[in-house]
Amino acid sequence: MGLSKRRKTLITLATLIGTFLAALDSTVVGTAMPTVIGELGGLSLYPWVFASYLLAATVTGPIFGKLSDTYDRKPVYLAGIFLFLAGSLLAGTSQTMMGLIAFRTLQGLGAGAVQPTAITIVGDIFELETRARVQGLFGAVWGISAVLGPAAGGLITDYISWRWVFYVNLPFGVETRVENPVVPLGLFRDRIFAVAVFGNLALGGVLFGVSVYVPLFVQGSLLGTALTAGAVVAPVSIGWPVASFIGGRMLLVTGYRATLLLGSALIAVGGGLCVPMGEGTPLWYVVAAVFIIGLGLGFTSTSYLVSVQNAVPWNRRGSATSSIVFFRTVGGSVAVAVMGALLNVSLGTRYEAAVERASGGDPDLADLLADPNSLLQPVLRDQIPAGSYAELAGSLAAALSPTFWAILALGVLALVAAAFFPGGHAKDLVNREEKS
């Protein structure tokens, strides 16, 4: 595309703002959700607040990607911004968990257009060397939002209201401007694309598994607040932009495969560190495990996106890019739902037995402890005797153990996928049309 440097800069800034909008939402909401559950109830519906968003983004991502290939990027991008902001506004007014889930679905519809289209636009306007560096900026945006989001989410939730974690999206959606099967099956004949799809299924599960269940573990089992829960999750996206910045340069020197193997190994190591986490785990340990996972996600996500964009012609770049985001969110949504089912099954009888032991036959205390939501509300939690709380916190930590094992398994699958990625220099792995 024959655009001036100034025009490219403006377009890049606009797409970065849109990406920041979606990234901020995911980091802020994860921090606030334990408190939301405490107020609205419905712990059993906890995973669906995230899964509904991810499923909506998953279903619509490839559709919007195809529409952007056919009708131009700009109208698709702006439509996504509108849907996302509408969902944010309505989510802040939710009175029930079912209502919140419905409005999160609307947000997801918008995110399905915003995120892949923004990344595709950058792929359109920059050459390979510059494209790899600019993609690192998108990792940095996730990192900035991850630093600001959890901290802001915790402060807003603790001192104002959890509803404002949704309203905070609205100011960032002013003045955002950017200049034929939905997922062509032929893309799967390309080894680069096929491996990237499988790898992103695993990456999505790790990313959203950590984002959803680590805050629950910290606030429910380690006496954390919304702010504390956000603080320990933030490192996943602090490590992400650091590794994305380094990885964008590394892949030009060592190739995609080496960068992917490094990132995937870090994810597997971080997942392994999550497995032994329990009620006595210090916060610094949780932060370290999450940071290592963030580093791994930064190396892998940048390599997959840049490699796929370079492996397809322009008229399929939107579909290919959105497909990668599609399969990442598929992995995330399925993983969150499965982990939620594992948690509910594991928690059920275990928590009932813990309540019986912790109450010591006191019916009033048994009534207070009967609802596991009490572990997530500081006001109710303060009414629980220390010994009783330790019993309940231990049961929640033990119930979360299967989700941490699942994160490890997904990290290993990501490493297996990276091993199948073709070797060679990044400049050699481009589509034949561009070579000719």
User: What's the pTM?
Assistant: 0.64
The correct CATH number of 5-435 out of 1.20.1250.20, 3.90.1150.10, 3.90.340.10, 3.40.462.40 is 1.20.1250.20
Measured between alpha carbons, how far is 175 from 17 in angstroms, rounded to an integer?
10
**33-64: string of b/e by CB count within 10 Å (b at 16+)?**
bbbbbbebebbbbbbbbbbbbbbbbbbbbbbb
Contact between residue 215 and residue 31 where contact means Cβ atoms under 8 Å apart: yes
270's CB contacts (< 8 A; 6+ apart) are: 289, 290, 291, 292, 293, 294, 295, 296, 411
Between the CA of residue 105 and those of 32, 50, 241, 333, what are the distances in Å? 17, 9, 27, 12
pLDDT of residue 263: 96
184: DSSP letter: -
DSSP string, 63-108: HHHHHHHHH-HHHHHHHHHHHHHHHHHHHTT--SHHHHHHHHHHHH
Contact between residue 256 and residue 428 where contact means Cβ atoms under 8 Å apart: no
Measured between alpha carbons, how far is 67 from 69 in angstroms, rounded to an integer?
5
Helix 73-91 / helix 97-125 crossing angle, nearest 10 deg: 160
pLDDT of residue 408: 96
What residues does each domain of the chain span? Answer: 5-435
Render each residue's pLDDT in the chain as its tens digit; 436 residues.
567 777 777 777 777 777 777 777 766 777 788 788 877 877 778 888 888 887 888 788 788 888 888 877 778 887 888 888 888 888 888 888 888 998 899 888 888 888 778 778 877 777 776 777 777 777 677 667 766 777 777 777 777 777 877 876 666 557 444 344 445 666 777 888 889 989 999 999 999 899 889 988 988 888 777 788 878 888 887 888 889 889 888 888 888 899 999 999 999 999 999 999 988 899 999 999 999 999 999 999 888 988 888 887 777 777 787 778 778 877 887 788 788 888 888 877 777 777 777 777 677 777 767 767 667 766 667 777 777 777 777 888 888 999 999 999 999 999 999 999 987 666 666 654 444 4
Measured between alpha carbons, how far is 183 from 145 in angstroms, rounded to an integer?
30
pLDDT of residue 176: 43
pLDDT of residue 371: 67
Helix residue ranges per DSSP H, 222-234: 226-233
Closest CA to 310 of 162, 147, 122, 158: 122
Helix residue ranges per DSSP H, 275-385: 283-311, 314-359, 363-369, 378-381
pLDDT of residue 184: 62
Give the tokens for residue 102.
């419905």
Element (H, E) at 19: helix 5-40
